[in-house]
Amino acid sequence: MRSLNLFLVLLSCLFLEIIGQDVLTEATTLSNEIEDPDTPSFTFLKDRKSSGLSKRIIGGNVATANQFPYQVALFVYEGNTVYFCGGSLITDSWVLTAAHCIDSASYVIAALGSHDLSSTESSRIVLNSSKFIIHEDWDESLLQNDVALIQLPESVTINQQISTIKLAEGTNTYDSLMSICLGWGITIYGSTSNVLRYVDLEVITNEKCSAYRDYSGYIVDTHICTSGNGTLGSCNGDSGGPLVINGEQIGIVSFGAADCQAGLPSVFTRVTEYNSWIQDALNGTYIYTDPSSYQGNNGYSIQPISVLNYLLIILFIYRQYI
């Protein structure tokens, strides 16, 4: 019965765009029958743009199944709207992501062990969470401290299909080194990708990054930038995903060019600047964040998932529960 209710809630989200507010009441009623969140009802955000800034994979390569077993697909729910973000599994029960992905989230459906979101995968685990910790100094007008954690409702079994990633430590700036950015982003042709992709990007200095007109005044020490390599880059939709060097996460996808031009730098939250905060959060220093305390968008325009993508999400979740 619960699986049927979940399907009906997702179906209601689709119809809401078509037939309006009456469906919202029904969807809200049904959502109370799924899994009772332990925290207050939140709101959430996903594929977001700011004044010229945002994120997703452009071009790149198709990953092999479970090549990056720490990658997490996040379906983020804000009222009657669904957004998509990425994240990384850093312990058996915690996912690292971007603050802007969940600072208005009601709840998140996290898919671990995924490769092809359009198919049924035996390796996939789907969990519902409404327990978030968002950095207390997250500032969406300055695009700083864009880091957050999601606690899963249960610990997952670590195996070849689902495993954690080590967080980078130390003072290395990684300038001029090649990194890997992951996500279910758009392809070079502008279409969305159902399979996990990755792109190799060179880390550039913050000085070079801030020299770009769109980024002037935004780049600080807690950011790390990568160059756009010709037809390669990142774009709306994979915010919160990891930037990786030698199997260690050095960044969290934060923002980039709003209209997704390849060749422009991508900007990430620098993980080494937040090791202490992350550890404190995991140790219980911070209470769960109620994202409803964040007021306004401060320049962001939110991009909801299209009707077609609603259908794909409905099919994806339906296959997990029915």
Q: What is the DSSP string of 24-87?
A: HHHHHHHHTTS---SS-------SEEBTTB----BS-EEPPTTSSTTEEEEEEEETTEEEEEEE
Can 239 be counted among the known catalytic residues?
Answer: yes
Using the predicted structure, report yes or no on whether residue 10 has a pLDDT greater than 70: no
Q: Which two tokens stand for residue 39?
A: 């925290």
Q: What pLDDT is attached to residue 67?
A: 96
pLDDT tens for each residue of 144-176: 999 999 999 999 999 999 999 999 999 999 999
Average pLDDT over residues 11-28: 30
pLDDT surpasses 80 at 33: no
How far is the C-alpha of 209 from the C-alpha of 1, rounded, in Å? Answer: 52
Is the pLDDT assigned to residue 126 strictly greater than 80? yes
Average pLDDT over residues 255-269: 73
Task: From the candidates 47, 103, 146, 238, give the one annotated as an active-site residue.
Answer: 146
Banded model confidence at residue 309, pLDDT cuts 50, 70, 90: low
CA dihedral sign of residues 149, 150, 151, 154: negative
Model pLDDT, residue 55:
43
Pairing of strands 242-245, 178-183: antiparallel
pLDDT at 282: 95
Specify whether 100 is catalytic: yes
User: What is the rounded end-to-end Cα distance, in angstroms, of the chain?
Assistant: 9
Of these residues, 130, 239, 254, 266, which one is catalytic?
A: 239
Task: Single out the catalytic residue among 100, 115, 135, 223.
Answer: 100
pLDDT digits (tens, 9 = 90+) for 44-95: 223 433 333 334 555 678 899 999 999 999 999 988 888 888 999 999 999 9
Q: What is the pLDDT of residues 216-252, one digit of tens each?
A: 889 999 999 998 665 555 554 478 999 999 999 999 9
Q: For the chain, list the domains and their CATH numbers.
A: 166-272 (2.40.10.10)
